């Protein structure tokens, strides 16, 4: 199973080329994709998102938020910020969801590198 960050989903939905978009396409065909709740929220926040795409995105299984998730996400973000590195709240929440589930993350966002260095986030950087 894999999850995809908003950056990869946007690229995929726009038909942009890239390794991550290809991997997401293949994983969707194999029904091996799960959705981080924060990513779903970000995607559904687009007022121009076509209703059919919205409906499809809502059908992808969500990663469950496990007991203590919010505390672990806060601690993860604090660790990254303590290294004087950038740690956006949404990225920390997405990273913690994937870490808890042991799920790899597809992304175009290099900001996730610091979460991989700090915790056990497995991620695949695309372009």
Number of domains in the chain: 1
Give burial (CB, 10 Å; 0-12/13-18/19+) of 116: middle
Joined tokens for residue 35: 């959705």
CATH number at residue 74: 3.40.50.1010
- Report the predicted TM-score, pTM, of the whole model to 2 decimal places: 0.93
| Model pLDDT for residues 51-87, shown as the tens digit of each residue | 999 999 999 999 999 999 999 999 999 999 999 999 9
- Which residues, in sequence order, are CB contacts of 13 under 8 Å at separation 6+? 53
**21 and 12 in contact (C-beta within 8 Å)?**
yes
Give the range of the structural domain holding residue 80, as residue numbers without chain letter.
2-125
């Amino acid at each position: 199973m894999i999850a995809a960050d908003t950056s990869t989903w946007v690229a995929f939905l726009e038909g942009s080329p890239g390794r991550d978009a290809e991997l997401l396409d293949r994983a969707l065909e194999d029904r091996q994709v799960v959705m981080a709740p924060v990513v779903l929220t970000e995607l559904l926040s687009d007022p121009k998102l076509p209703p059919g795409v919205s409906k499809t995105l809502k059908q992808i299984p969500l990663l469950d938020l496990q007991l203590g998730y919010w505390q672990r996400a806060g601690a993860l973000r604090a660790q990254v910020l303590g290294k004087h590195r950038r740690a956006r709240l949404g990225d920390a929440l997405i990273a913690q969801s994937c870490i808890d589930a042991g799920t790899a993350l597809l992304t175009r966002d290099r900001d996730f590198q610091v979460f991989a260095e700090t915790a056990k986030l497995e991620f695949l950087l695309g372009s």
